[in-house]
């Protein structure tokens, strides 16, 4: 997908919400467990109920890998369903990959070609030759972990290297990579105030911002420090939407939660005018 198409969709839906498809058989409503493919049945119901309020879906690959072959099949069916019925919606494989060059190329083929995702999350630790193979793919996007939402982010990411915090090094060095116009970055909503400095280094790149909802981050704070003239934000919520109810009404309640966030986003978008 081209960035212009993502931006157009954001303005059309008045939303920059990404719904995280972190589908857990221990948490989905019990009545779905009798379906042939409960993970797909749950995802389809969530997509049908929420697609009007969001511009992106982010399956976290761990939730599918955990169920082996059946989990991969459910992920494939989810992607086929999304790309057939909602091709305008941006898809993110939250896979956190990255390896030596030839291996990264296989990861890129797996997620961009075989699974047809628009984007993938990548850990930057192995550096340039582990990231550039992903950047070769036209109209696909590579989302580098910069400053993550968890407490462990302070173990390494905020430590100084050559006089600058490591997450800032990730931002400024990766800007030089070939194909860097296809880079986005992960910044946790729990670290919203850091966005002011982050925007000085990457004033325009899209940021994937997980951590509102279950992790307690504030959408308003994220917008205060991180929004750009082209919005530049995809704010993710997974558990706060998926598991707001685990009764028969789960999809309806998920839609209600997604709509509440969309309405808060509409207020933030109106401030850009
Ligand atoms: O820094 C990061 C990077 C990724 N994540 C992922 O986003 C979702 C958040 O789920 P919630 O249920 O809304 O908390 C999940 O898939 C994480 O693995 C993150 O939280 N922080």
Give 76-120 pLDDT, tens digit per residue.
999 999 999 999 999 999 999 999 999 999 999 999 999 999 999
Q: Which atom of ligand 1 is nearest to the CA of 63?
A: 16
Give 219-271 pLDDT, tens digit per residue.
999 999 999 999 999 999 999 999 999 999 999 999 999 999 999 999 999 99
Residues annotated catalytic, as ranges:
96
CA distance between the termini of the chain: 25
pTM above 0.90, yes or no: yes
> 3-state class of 147 per DSSP?
strand
**Six token digits for residue 94:** 């939250």
Locus of tokens 């950047």? 135
Number of domains, the chain: 1
Domain CATH code at residue 129: 3.20.20.70
**CA 210 / ligand 1 centre spacing (Å):** 5
Nearest residue by C-alpha to atom 7 in ligand 1: 210
**CA 15 / ligand 1 centre spacing (Å):** 19
Distant-in-sequence, close-in-space partners of 115: CB < 8 Å, separation ≥ 6:
75, 76, 79, 93
Complex ipTM: 0.99
Mutate to test the pocket of ligand 1, among 21, 64, 187, 210 (most ligand atoms within 8 A of CB): 210
Which domain range does residue 255 map to?
3-270
């Amino acid at each position: 997908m081209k960035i212009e198409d993502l931006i157009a969709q954001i303005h059309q839906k008045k939303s920059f919400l990404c719904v995280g498809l972190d589908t857990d058989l221990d948490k989905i409503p019990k009545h779905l467990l009798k379906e042939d493919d409960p993970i797909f049945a749950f995802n389809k119901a969530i997509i049908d109920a929420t697609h009007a309020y969001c511009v992106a879906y982010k399956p976290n690959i761990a939730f599918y890998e955990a169920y082996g072959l059946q989990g991969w099949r459910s992920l494939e069916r989810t992607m086929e369903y999304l790309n057939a019925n909602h091709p305008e919606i941006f898809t993110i494989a939250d896979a956190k990959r990255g390896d030596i060059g030839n291996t990264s190329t296989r990861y890129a083929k797996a997620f961009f070609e075989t699974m047809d995702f628009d984007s993938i999350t990548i850990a930057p630790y192995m550096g340039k030759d582990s990231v550039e193979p992903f950047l070769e793919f036209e109209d696909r996007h590579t989302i580098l972990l910069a400053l993550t939402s968890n407490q462990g982010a302070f173990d390494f990411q905020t430590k100084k290297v050559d006089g600058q915090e490591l997450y800032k090094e990730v931002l400024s060095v990766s800007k030089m990579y070939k194909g860097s116009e296809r880079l986005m970055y992960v910044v946790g909503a729990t670290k919203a105030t850091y966005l002011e400095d982050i925007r000085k280094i990457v004033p325009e790149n899209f940021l994937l911002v997980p951590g509102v909802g279950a992790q307690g981050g504030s959408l308003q704070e994220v917008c205060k420090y991180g929004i750009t003239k082209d919005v530049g934000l995809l704010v993710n919520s997974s558990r706060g939407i998926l598991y707001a109810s685990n009764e028969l009404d789960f999809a309806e309640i998920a839609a209600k939660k997604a709509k509440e966030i969309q309405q808060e986003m509409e207020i933030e978008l109106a401030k850009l005018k």
